Amino acid sequence: MEFSSEEASYEFYKSYSKKLGFDIRKAYRHVYKNSNEVLDRTFYCARASKNGKDKREVNVKCPRAQFRCGCPAKMVVSAHHSGNFRVMKFVVEHNQVLSTTRKIHLLRSHRKITHAQAARGVQVISSGVVQGHEATMELLNEFGTVSEYMITPYRTHHVNVITYDSSNDSVVCSCRKFTFAGILCSNVLKVFTIKDVLKIPDVYILKRWKTNAKVGCAPVIRIDEVRDPKEAVAVKYQDLCGLSQQVITWAS
C-alpha cells in the first residue's frame, strides 16, 4: 500500500482509526541529515507505550488515571525512491477496548470544531455585547481610561460588574473574589482577554502563590522544646510575629 505523502498516510490512518474507534498520535520519524526529507514515520494508537513516572507524585493527592496501556497497534510508512510512502508495518491488534461510534468524536484526534462553534467562542456584536459560550459580557460605561462591564454567566441571572482602568491595569469585580480568596475570578480574566492584557499584573499575584512564598518566614521551633523561660518568651514572640504576618497577607 502506498501514499503520495506522509500527510496522506496520516490521513489514511486517522480515518481508519475513526472507523474502528481509537485515538492516534504521530510518533517518531527519521529524516535525511542533509535535506531534512522524511525517511520514515510511525503512527501509534494513542494508548501505545506507558506513561512516565509523574515527578510531582509526592504533591498530587488524586493522581490522574494512567491513559497509556502499551497498546501495540501502529502503522509505519517508509519513503520509497518513487517519492511515495509505503506501509512497512501494520499492527492491527489493540489491548484496550475500542470506543463506540457515539463516543468517537470525544477522542482527541477526531475532535472537530466547526466554524460556527469557533465563531460562537468569542463573538463580538456591534452593540457592545460580547458573547462567549459560557457568559455574556456587556459594556455598560466607558469614561476615559475606565471601562465598566457587566458579565452574566451562561444560563444564570447572576450579574457581576467589573470596572477596569487601562491606565494602570487595575480591576475590581463585584464578586470580590480577589478580596476574599486572593485570586482573580474568571470574569476579570475575561475582561483582561478583551482588553489584550496578556499577563496578569503583578499586583494581583500575591506572594503566597509565588515560588518565594516562604522566603522571610521564621523557622518553627516548638515552645515545649525550649527550657530557658526567657528564650521561651522570645520563641512565643517569634511565633506571634509569624502568625501576624500570615493574617496581614490574608487581609491584603
73 lies in the binding site for Zn ion (CB under 5 A): yes
Binding mask 153-172 for Zn ion (x = CB under 5 A): -------x------------
24 lies in the binding site for Zn ion (CB under 5 A): no
Q: How far is the CB of 187 from Zn ion (least distance, A)?
A: 4
151 lies in the binding site for Zn ion (CB under 5 A): no
Strand partners, 85: 3, 79
Nearer to Zn ion, 173 or 235 (CB): 173
Q: Could you please report the per-residue DSSP string of 6-26?
A: HHHHHHHHHHHHHHHT--EEE
For 224, counting Cβ atoms within 10 Å of its Cβ (0-12 exposed, 13-18 middle, 19+ buried), the class is: exposed
The tally of CA atoms less than 13 A away on the side-chain side of residue 23 is 17
Q: How far is the CB of 102 from Zn ion (least distance, A)?
A: 19
Total residues contacting Zn ion (rule CB under 5 A)?
10
184 lies in the binding site for Zn ion (CB under 5 A): no
DSSP 8-state code for residue 64: P
Q: How far is the CB of 45 from Zn ion (least distance, A)?
A: 3
175 lies in the binding site for Zn ion (CB under 5 A): yes
Q: How far is CA 185 from CA 114, 160, 191, in A?
A: 29, 10, 10
Q: For residues 37 and 6, is the Cβ–Cβ distance under 8 A?
A: no
185 lies in the binding site for Zn ion (CB under 5 A): yes
Helices (H), 73-135: 115-121
Among 84, 94, 172, 197, binds Zn ion (CB under 5 A): 94
Strand partners, 170: 165
75 lies in the binding site for Zn ion (CB under 5 A): no
71 lies in the binding site for Zn ion (CB under 5 A): yes
Nearer to Zn ion, 185 or 235 (CB): 185
Summarize as ranges the residues that interact with Zn ion (CB under 5 A): 45, 47, 71, 73, 94, 160, 173, 175, 185, 187
